Amino acid sequence: MSFLSTKKSATPKVVAIVLMLWFLGVAVVGHTGVLVGAPTPFIGGYVMSVTLLFCILGISVSPLRSWLLSLELRFLVLLHVVRFVGIALLVSSAAEGGLPQIFADRAGYGDIFTAITALALAVGFLPAVSRFHRRLLLLWNVVGIVDLLQALGTAQLSGSSAMAPIISAPLAYLPLYLVPLLMFVHIVIFYRLAIGALDSESTL
């Protein structure tokens, strides 16, 4: 199995186009500031709705499901290295009019920890060739998704005005794009662990 599936399929191209269009849509929303002032439950509702939509598509669309199952687990884990962007949350909290300190600390340090451990896991413990490796992957996946969920929860408690910077550029890409995408990746990893759809090198 290659790092990315080499099976001839239009699915990767379709996924890339959808992700690009979604990214452009988020860019427009973030830079126009149309969501500034939206109630904080909107952020959580948006993230969970998009994640649920991805799950439904991943299960019901056969080519997409097959493609997701063919991707190397190392690739899925390495996607979370992008969570080093949590540093931006810490920087924002230090600026006047930035994010609340409690939110930035919880989400920022949690993301940085997840990114560091994703890199270590991908380099040193994947493919999941043993039960220990699979348990380590499961533990990392639990920690990673809990970090995203607690960040969403903290955002709900922080209030709309305090969280305004997170739904305007440049931070809008985090809740409107990266968080639902990475949460879906966590769910894909959970699913593959549950059904035993691991990399071809994996053994009992």
**pTM score, whole prediction:** 0.90
Per-residue DSSP letters for 108-166?
HHHHHHHHHHHHHHHHHS-S--SHHHHHHHHHHHHHHHHHHHHHHHHHHHH-TTTTGGG
Question: What tens digit of pLDDT does each residue of 74-125 get?
Answer: 999 999 999 999 998 888 887 777 888 899 999 999 999 999 999 999 998 8
Sign for the pseudo-dihedral over CA of 114, 118, 120, 125 = positive
Q: Tell me if 63 sits within 8 A of 9, measured CB to CB.
A: yes
Model confidence pLDDT, tens digit, residues 30-61:
999 888 878 888 888 999 999 999 999 999 99
